[in-house]
């Protein structure tokens, strides 16, 4: 059932900081109303909401831990309430599965606890949150999953993290196949190394790491958050209406 006022609404997990924050800004620039989630950082989330509202676009924020699938039913109920009370809507049009955590440890040193946390956050979380929200996603909508360049190239210490993203890339193709009958497009964006606080901000703050990555990138620099948001916004727009089941790497040409 479509929203009565024909407004488009996007849900972006982890939209209070980093890449998710830029995705929220880029998507709202197109006039799409936005609901972001955050695990921690209420003040950050409220700031993003306030920034978006200044554009004349509606926005809201909800707390969610994507690693806790037992909370998804309650989250769906909260989302329904927020949509009704704050956005005068019942459905969403776009879902961006962005929320994630970083982890750096060699294969030999990766603990089962760390592995499970990565799996619950990136793979299980993305799988079952999308499943939970399917009844709220309008036909003809779009799902954008977020992967990593590390699923294509290998750097020591990221095996467990990249394995989860590789699983999500495969899942994306199956989601596209199965949801195509509803006109729902599903694609996955794989950022390269980006200057954010992700992983402790090592790419942004460590000059040696930053310089090495820049030297291995065809365009000669490390990525910035604003390099990613516009690509995700494109995949939620009518301009990408004939694109589904695709992996789009946004890395400036790393390790070509």
Question: What separation in angstroms does the CA of 256 have from each of 152, 153, 161, 180?
Answer: 11, 9, 21, 32
Considering all CA atoms of the chain, what is the largest pairwise distance in Å, rounded to the nearest integer? 54
Which residues are registered as beta bridge partners of 37? 62
* DSSP helix/strand/coil, 219: coil
182's CB contacts (< 8 A; 6+ apart) are 139, 140
Please tell me the distance from the alpha carbon of residue 111 to that of residue 36, in angstroms, as a whole number: 31
C-alpha 198, offset from chain centre:
13
Catalytic residue among 25, 38, 158, 161: 161
Cα separation, 155 vs 190, in Å, equals: 15
38 has catalytic annotation: no
3-state secondary structure 37-59: EECCCHHHHHHHHHHHHCCCCCE
Bridge-partner residues for 34, per DSSP?
Answer: 10, 59
Q: Is residue 95 within 8 Å of residue 34, measured between CB atoms?
A: no
Residues serving a catalytic function are: 161
């Amino acid at each position: 059932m479509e929203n009565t006022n024909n407004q488009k609404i996007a849900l972006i997990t982890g939209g209070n900081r980093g890449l998710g924050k830029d995705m929220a800004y880029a998507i709202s620039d197109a006039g799409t109303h936005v609901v972001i989630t955050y695990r921690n950082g209420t003040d950050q989330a409220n700031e993003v909401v306030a920034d978006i509202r200044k554009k004349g676009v509606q926005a809201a924020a909800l707390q969610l831990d994507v690693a806790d699938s037992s909370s998804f039913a309650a989250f769906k109920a909260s989302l329904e309430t927020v949509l009704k009370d704050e956005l005068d809507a019942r459905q969403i049009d776009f879902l961006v599965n962005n929320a994630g955590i970083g982890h750096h440890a060699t294969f030999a040193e990766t603990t089962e606890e760390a592995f499970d946390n990565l799996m619950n956050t990136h793979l299980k979380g993305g799988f079952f949150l999308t499943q939970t929200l399917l009844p709220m996603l309008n036909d003809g909508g779009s799902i954008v999953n977020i992967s990593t360049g590390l699923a294509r190239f290998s750097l020591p210490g990221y095996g467990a993290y990249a394995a989860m993203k590789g699983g999500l890339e495969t899942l994306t193709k199956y989601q596209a196949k199965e949801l195509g009958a509803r006109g729902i497009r599903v694609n996955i964006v794989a950022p390269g190394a980006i200057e954010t606080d992700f992983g402790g901000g090592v790419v942004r703050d460590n000059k040696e790491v930053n310089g090495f990555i820049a030297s291995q990138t065809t365009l000669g620099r490390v990525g910035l958050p604003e390099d990613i948001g516009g690509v995700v916004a494109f995949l939620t727009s009518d301009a990408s209406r004939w694109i589904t089941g695709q992996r789009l790497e946004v890395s400036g040409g790393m390790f070509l």
